Structure 1
Amino acid sequence: METLDAILVRYVAQGDDTRDKLLGAAFVVVHSNKTLYEGSTGRTSIPSNSTPFTPSSLTWVASSSKIITVPAILTLVERGLFSLDSDVRPLIPELAALQILRGFDPTNGAPILEDNDTKITLRHLLTHTAGLAYDLADPDLRKWSKSIDRTDNNLHHTLAGWTTPLKFTPGQGWRYGTSIDWAAQLVERVTGETIGVYLEENILRPLGMADTTFHSISKRNLGKAGCTLRDRGTGSLQMRPLPVPLEPPVECGRGIGQEEGGIPQKETVDEMFRPQLNDVQRTSLQDRVNNRHNTMIPEFPPGTVVQHGIGGVMNVEDVPGKRRAGSMHWMGMANCHWWIDRATGIAATLIVNIYPFPNAVFINLYDELERAVYGELLAELRK
């Protein structure tokens, strides 16, 4: 435990100088149903006398919330309301209208769009194989948006912001984007409840997660754990507002709260951790990972072979000194990461509230913490 405390302190600013440091960090490790470690250090704002950053600080977990959202969606599959492989387009007409962007006319730059006749399944959405991408992160979609004078984008959290052409025929590749947001819409169309309300009733409240929410976040005083941005010139930290609206027009798979987890039925969890991608999809994922290593898998050595479950990326082989094969992980825009290692029973999350990602200081901190978990905590469990 002292080792983990010392690692956190070493990476977090303890005074006014924030150069090459984090402002605050909280790290939680669990084994099965027991908390092995819960520690934090730092503060929630730039002044050195600011409120301490603790595991109870309210933070923006962004896409880390997908590991909560996905099990909630899967409870509707358990209830027989739809299946993983049924076509969701009849329930979400916006998806039925999407065309496939095949390129741009070399003579006038006009988008070349093709009608999509292939079904879009819930499995496609939950594994990011539907062809949907984040427009702000994709040069082709940015060019398409400009060509039609589009004003909304994915960070506006509107249906218009999520509505973009597909990058490929559904099922023929892998691309991270708005798929989970549309899957959350499926919950709303079927149940008549927002994803926030459905999560609270079926996942959060039963687990006692009173401080995790998709809505009314301005009332929860988010400023208690503000986001920071590093000045590239000086290396110092500056406070910055969230890049998303405090009260999103449409709730989606990107929440805010104290990072915990929700558990559906065992058979559903088993399916979540089963490798989901066929060879074409896995090759597409591997290419993306290899080209964006520090963004997508900074905790793994370059060249690590990956797969995708329902809810996150999985490492196919043991990572030396770290998690075992078949573990799942993902992250959020504010450099909050989690992993679940079913082989050892270890799961952990690190929250730092700094963006954008990747962040070199965070990457080094995360690496040291995970190595300490498997080098010391796991060894203690086996005694």
Structure 2
Amino acid sequence: MQEFETKLNETIEAGKMLAAIAVVADVDGKTVYRHSAGKQNLEPNAPSVDPNSTVMLGSAGKFITHIAAIQCVERSLIGLDDPAAIEKHLPEVAALKVYLPSDDEPGFILREPTKKITLRHLLTHSSGISYPGDEKLEKWTQSDKPAIDENAHIIVKIFSMPLLHEPGEGWTYGSSVEWVGLLILRLTGLRLVEFVQKNIFDALDMKMSTYYPEKHAEIWAKKLQMVNRESGVLVAEPDDTVQGLTCSVGDLQTLLVDLLGQSKLLSQPYVDEIFKPQFVRGTPTYVGVREDIRKLGKSVGVPTTLANPPVNASLAALFVEDGVAPLSNFPPGTLTWSGMPNVIWAVNREKGKAAIFATQLLPVEDDEIIAVAMSFMRGAWKSH
């Protein structure tokens, strides 16, 4: 790990990042490697970074919503391939139409999909649902859209948009997981944050994890400061940037390790399902995820120049399928994902290993930080 530690120190000393924490754990939860460097915040007399700091996860925490949804499947509240359940509990999603560009005004047409959305589609980002502001939907965004009931749930108000493709006929990284949160509410009567607290955080004794870090003094006090590099200078991000799912590095380690061995969260068949590639080779979904990861994949170890990245989708994250991801050394069978403040995790059952790289720096997928993170990952998957 000498290469990583040297690169991390050089990057911090050059003022390009504030701090980072890197951890490797085995199937028994034992920490086999831990290294941290830098300062906890930008104050002149700031202490050294706490190796168990709390960090906002961003998209790196989406897999927790996926696990919660699979817990609902395990309890027979919904099936993975049950469109009728989506129609019943998420009628707003079932009603979404497919967007097609058109030469006629207003520049697009909307048509009924020929396939119905399932929970599997939502969990694998193959539903066709994008994010608000997607440039592919620009014409629709600028058009006169039907009004949404002012009493509708906030998820419905924000994320109701046309599908970019037929369900199961492409891959679009978007707001499917936000809809899954609403689905969990309607299936269980518990808001996502309540369901996760009870069934994941409490179940694993994750006391330093919350969706509301600003309301928990101990969690807030241990946060690694979020910074942004502007014109080569690190500046503090406002506190409202540090909202949403926040975990200590130790809690994140506990959660990932749970997927390696005898899980407390899911029965073995459902853990097995999480570690399966979901898309069949040659299908539009398979082609779609590989094409998009060429644009999005730096933080999961895939160079943008790689013509055919070795990835697939799982029910919870990205799945490294055939061959090692070049930048990261992730072996086949690895689940991995990353989040906005350059938090990256990876877990592999065959190797019995989980690895975490955590910092709190914007912009997302910053080249300088990704180079440091990939240096760590290469060492982690090679030497332990």
**Do both proteins adopt the same fold according to a TM-score greater than 0.5, normalized to the shorter chain?**
yes
Inter-partner Cα distance in structure 2 for 1:288 and 1:157: 28
Inter-partner Cα distance in structure 2 for 1:195 and 1:59: 20
Indicate if the aligned counterparts of 1:26 and 1:352 stay in contact, CA closer than 8 A. Answer: yes
Indicate if the aligned counterparts of 1:314 and 1:328 stay in contact, CA closer than 8 A. Answer: yes
Match in the other structure for 1:287: 291
Q: Write the deviation string for residues 44-103 of structure 1: whole angstroms up to 9, x where unpaired.
A: 332342343323322210111122221221111111111110111211121122111112
> Are residue 275 (structure 1) and residue 277 (structure 2) matched?
yes
Secondary structure of 2:123 counterpart: helix
Specify whether residues 178 and 297 from structure 1 end up closer, same or farther in structure 2 by C-alpha distance, changes over 3 A only: farther
- How far 1:269 sits from its partner (Å)? 1.1
- How far 1:216 sits from its partner (Å)? 5.7
TM-score (norm 2): 0.84
Amino acid at match of 1:202: N
> Are residue 362 (structure 1) and residue 362 (structure 2) matched?
no
> Are residue 202 (structure 1) and residue 199 (structure 2) matched?
yes
- How far 1:228 sits from its partner (Å)? 1.7
Inter-partner Cα distance in structure 2 for 1:25 and 1:305: 28
Inter-partner Cα distance in structure 2 for 1:174 and 1:7: 35
Specify whether residues 142 and 245 from structure 1 end up closer, same or farther in structure 2 by C-alpha distance, changes over 3 A only: farther
Secondary structure of 2:89 counterpart: coil
Indicate if the aligned counterparts of 1:28 and 1:349 stay in contact, CA closer than 8 A. Answer: yes
> Are residue 308 (structure 1) and residue 313 (structure 2) matched?
yes
Inter-partner Cα distance in structure 1 for 2:192 and 2:332: 32
Q: Write the deviation string for residues 180-221 of structure 1: whole angstroms up to 9, x where unpaired.
A: 111121111011001111111111112111111123644446
Q: Write the deviation string for residues 283-307 of structure 1: whole angstroms up to 9, x where unpaired.
A: 1111112244436644798232211
Specify whether residues 8 and 344 from structure 1 end up closer, same or farther in structure 2 by C-alpha distance, changes over 3 A only: same
Residue 88 of structure 2, aligned match among 87, 90, 100: 90
> Are residue 32 (structure 1) and residue 34 (structure 2) matched?
no
Amino acid at match of 2:77: L
Indicate if the aligned counterparts of 2:107 and 2:139 stay in contact, CA closer than 8 A. Answer: no
Amino acid at match of 2:137: L
Indicate if the aligned counterparts of 2:345 and 2:354 stay in contact, CA closer than 8 A. Answer: yes
Match in the other structure for 1:250: none
Indicate if the aligned counterparts of 1:338 and 1:347 stay in contact, CA closer than 8 A. Answer: yes
Q: Write the deviation string for residues 233-274 of structure 1: whole angstroms up to 9, x where unpaired.
A: x3222222378684xxxxxxx622223415422211110111
Residue 112 of structure 1, aligned match among 95, 104, 109: 109
Indicate if the aligned counterparts of 1:110 and 1:147 stay in contact, CA closer than 8 A. Answer: no
Match in the other structure for 1:333: 340
Match in the other structure for 2:142: 146
Inter-partner Cα distance in structure 2 for 1:165 and 1:299: 31
Match in the other structure for 2:119: 122
Q: Write the deviation string for residues 348-376 of structure 1: whole angstroms up to 9, x where unpaired.
A: 11111112222111111112112222333
- How far 1:174 sits from its partner (Å)? 0.5
Match in the other structure for 1:251: none
Moved more, 284-293 or 266-275: 284-293
Match in the other structure for 1:318: 323
Match in the other structure for 1:381: none
Inter-partner Cα distance in structure 2 for 1:242 and 1:159: 27
Indicate if the aligned counterparts of 1:42 and 1:53 stay in contact, CA closer than 8 A. Answer: yes
Amino acid at match of 1:185: L
Match in the other structure for 2:42: 46
Match in the other structure for 1:211: 208
- How far 1:4 sits from its partner (Å)? 5.5
Secondary structure of 1:30 counterpart: strand
Give % identity.
27
> Are residue 227 (structure 1) and residue 234 (structure 2) matched?
no
Consecutive unaligned residues of structure 1, counting only runs of 5 or more, are: 247-253, 379-383
Secondary structure of 1:307 counterpart: strand
Secondary structure of 2:57 counterpart: strand
Secondary structure of 2:337 counterpart: strand
Moved more, 2-11 or 162-171: 2-11
Match in the other structure for 1:160: 157
Secondary structure of 1:225 counterpart: coil
Indicate if the aligned counterparts of 1:27 and 1:39 stay in contact, CA closer than 8 A. Answer: yes
